[in-house]
Chains A and B, each alone.
Chain A
Amino acid sequence: MGELDSSRLREPEYMAQRVAMCETEIQKGIIGQRDIIRQTMLAMLTGGNVLLEGMPGLGKTRLVSTIGKVFDLSFKRIQFTPDLMPSDVTGTNIIIKNEQGSVFSFERGPIFANLILADEINRATPKTQSALLEAMQEHTVTVGNDSHALEEPFFVLATQNPIENEGTYPLPEAQLDRFMFKILVRFPSKEELRGIVGLTEGNQTPVIEKQMDGRGLLAARELVSQIPIADAVMDYLLGIVMETHASNPHIREGASPRAAQALIRASRAKAFLEGRLNVSFQDVAEMSYPVLRHRIIPSFDAISEGITEDDIIGKILEANGKV
């Protein structure tokens, strides 16, 4: 299809096609993990951030770098460690000596990029985590008395390892809430693994082409935010969120209002990505898992019975019917 036609950025059909092409292009570089790619794309279309939870080596870094190439966005990776300081993320003021004397100058940290991969975010101290989370929420970085706006589009993809929790600082619920999606990265199947091995260990390296740019992504976000939602669908969506607050022996704390906002945006994005200009019950149901799973705090009963957040969400959806 070639270069993005900037004159057609307001055409939903065209933009949906371009986004779909982006997805296809990303799949060239990532074998399997279609759901992960899809959900990451959805988060990008809504301006949300993603928390990936999975074992190391499942292609998380590769995913972000591929997205950067396809969307022609700047990409930075920050490896979070216990001794990482906030200034290592945001940047700091340094003294620069020149002919006029010494002056403070702000040296930008790695957060000044469109795509950030915050690897193993739970290994850094809460202070450093909060520096990143502030940037995620406000899209600005404040150092000293100066605030520095981050370049749009800004997108953070954080990862955490579900095991090896010793010496880590689990993200508090309030901070988890700032991630639009929590995506569980499963181990690939044998066939997918064969493809991954073939891709990485073979001689042929796939050529990833740019399909979109930051401007196009922002235009697509604008379109997504205008997609209408029928009252019945909205009721269904809000009913699901409210249900997490109902008396449920498996839930200690339910989802926040931010969950409802995220669910609306994610459902719209899903509809857009599928070429529809309206939200369906199915969209809401499918998006409930990545949106709610990190916003529900399971009760001790649920944990002791081995009931996961996804099980709880599944039961809520089942109770609400429709799909």
Chain B
Amino acid sequence: MDKKEFLRVLQACRHKMIIASFLGNLVSALSVGAAVGIFFWTAAFVIPLYYAGIYAGLSLFLAFMTAVIISFIRRTSMEQAALWMDSFGFEERIVTAHENLMKEGALITLQREDAMRQLKAHGDRIKVTLLPPGKKIFILVGLAVVLTGLAIAPSKTKEYAKELHNLREEIREKEDEVEEVVEALELLAQEELTPEQQAEIQDMIESLQNSLSEYHQASSEEMAAAASERLNYKYEQINSQLSAMAQSMQNGASVSGAAAESMEAMAKKLRDMSGQELAMGNGAGTGDDQSGQKGGNGENGTGGKGDGNGQGDGNGQGDGNGQGDGNGQGDGNGKGRGTGSSSTPHDYVSIPNAIADSGNLTGSAVNHDASEYFYAQNGLSWEGTHMSHEAVIGSYEQNAYEGIAAGKYPSGMEDIIKEYFSSF
């Protein structure tokens, strides 16, 4: 055996040791990764954790990368390989020979020859086990089985997490969408517009930002749906307002055509986003400012441009979208949305069915009919929910007693309040 052969044997052993070390590290790291994955999947049974699978996968991936990095950093050196080989009864001959491989000297040469001779004679003693100990592998397999079982086992919490995730996704999409519209409106506000138009657009932006807040606060599907419903309505409103604004700009020719085009484009975009074909007047609208007929005059929802220049002071719109200088009104009678408004921005008002008999809402509280929102002078009504009288009274009573406990009322009033509620 010469130096070259000696080095070759040493190198071969080193390579085997590197592989064995990597496999050992890999099994250990994957076991840790699997344990972390089990932790995530177990947690997903208790708390809604939609990304448990991704976290578990990430844990395993990180474990793998850790094993690779550790194995690379701690890769076996030639000296370590030589020491390992020596542990098979070579009494540090190999490591000594390797260290002095390039040195010359009578004794060093003799030592090297002795090491090579021993290695040649007893090289078969050297065994490098590539696979990690069976116990480690068994643990890893066990952890993998548990991990898989937890991953595929169904649970209500998992379902709930999925639903919650979908809701969040939906909300995020809507938020992005709203932000996009807000940005577009902000750009539009930079066009050459009259102060009134600027203010109107600013109101639109604020209104949309309110919707953003609603989405932020939405914690259930119902809340998100309600927010979406309101948003769609706002889109329609904004669309109408923008269309009208564009029309008036074109008519007045007081500003650049580009601004009008932008508005028109924006309006079209909002129409698309609201997902509805809006009914629009096609000109020569004859809508009575005061009585705004259901369905308006003009054709419904064909996308025809026209925006109905109705008679009178305002720009009468089909389907009761009366517009104008605050005079045109379109009280939607009957089912369908009425969008008449004054120039003053309105608030949303939720009116429970309990007062549906007021005449401004559809449906009857007695019959528990469903009602729908509609324009009512300066406000907007939304569909409410039914609550029993007992529940309402109970809620009031509870609040009252809490107020008493907190010392909110004058001492003389406490007994009156108690007496009042005890009379029910």
Contacts and interface: CB of A to CB of B under 8 A. Distances in A.
B96 interface: yes
A231 B91 contact: no
B92 A228 contact: no
Given A226-B105, A226-B107, A232 B114 contact: no
B99 A230 contact: yes
B93 A276 contact: yes
B92 A231 contact: no
Given A10-B106, A226-B105, A232 B92 contact: yes
Given A10-B106, A277-B114, A278-B115, A228 B100 contact: yes
Contacts of B79: 231-232
Contact of A278 (B83, B105, B106, B111): B111
B210 to A, nearest CB: 70
B91 A280 contact: yes
A223 B92 contact: no
Interface string A148-161: 00000000000000
B356 interface: no
Contacts of B417: none
A268 to B, nearest CB: 11
B95 interface: yes
Given A226-B105, A228-B100, A232-B83, A278 B110 contact: no
Interface residues of B, number: 19
A276 B93 CA distance: 8
A253 B24 CA distance: 42
B294 to A, nearest CB: 94
A278 B107 CA distance: 9
A223 B111 CA distance: 12
A281 B86 CA distance: 10
B108 interface: yes
A54 interface: no
A302 B6 CA distance: 49
Interface in B61-93: 79, 83, 86, 91-93
Interface in A202-228: 223, 226-228
A279 B91 CA distance: 8
Nearest to A223: B107
Interface in A141-194: none
Contact of B114 (A229, A231, A276): A276
Given A276-B114, A278-B115, A232 B107 contact: no
A279 B92 contact: yes
Interface in A223-246: 223, 226-233
Residue among A10, A229, A278, A281 with max Cβ neighbours from chain B (10 Å) = A278
A214 to B, nearest CB: 22
A18 B272 CA distance: 106
B110 A277 contact: yes
Contacts of B115: 278
B91 A228 contact: no
A280 B107 CA distance: 16
Contacts of A105: none
Contacts, number: 53
Contact of A281 (B92, B107, B114): B92
A231 B99 contact: yes
B10 to A, nearest CB: 14
A223 B108 CA distance: 11
A229 B96 contact: yes
Interface string B18-58: 00000000000000000000000000000000000000000
A228 B93 contact: no
A282 interface: yes
Contacts of A277: 107, 110-111, 114
B12 to A, nearest CB: 20
A279 B115 CA distance: 12
A223 B83 CA distance: 25
A12 interface: yes
Contacts of A13: 110
Nearest to A225: B107
Given A12-B110, A228-B108, A280 B99 contact: no
B92 A230 contact: yes
A276 B91 contact: yes
Nearest to A275: B114
Contact of B107 (A12, A230, A233, A279): A12
Interface in B230-264: none
Contacts of B100: 228
Contact of B96 (A10, A12, A278): A278
Contacts of A229: 96
Given A230-B99, A231-B79, A231-B99, A280 B111 contact: no
A221 to B, nearest CB: 13
Contacts of A233: 92, 95-96
Interface of A: 10, 12-13, 223, 226-233, 276-282
Interface of B: 79, 83, 86, 91-93, 95-97, 99-100, 105-108, 110-111, 114-115
6 tightest CB-CB pairs across the interface, nearest first? Answer: A278-B96, A277-B111, A280-B91, A280-B92, A230-B96, A230-B95
16 contacts: A12-B106, A226-B107, A228-B99, A228-B108, A230-B99, A231-B99, A233-B92, A233-B96, A276-B93, A276-B114, A277-B107, A277-B111, A278-B93, A278-B111, A279-B96, A282-B91
Given A227-B111, A276-B114, A280-B86, 5 more contacts: A12-B110, A228-B107, A231-B79, A233-B95, A278-B96
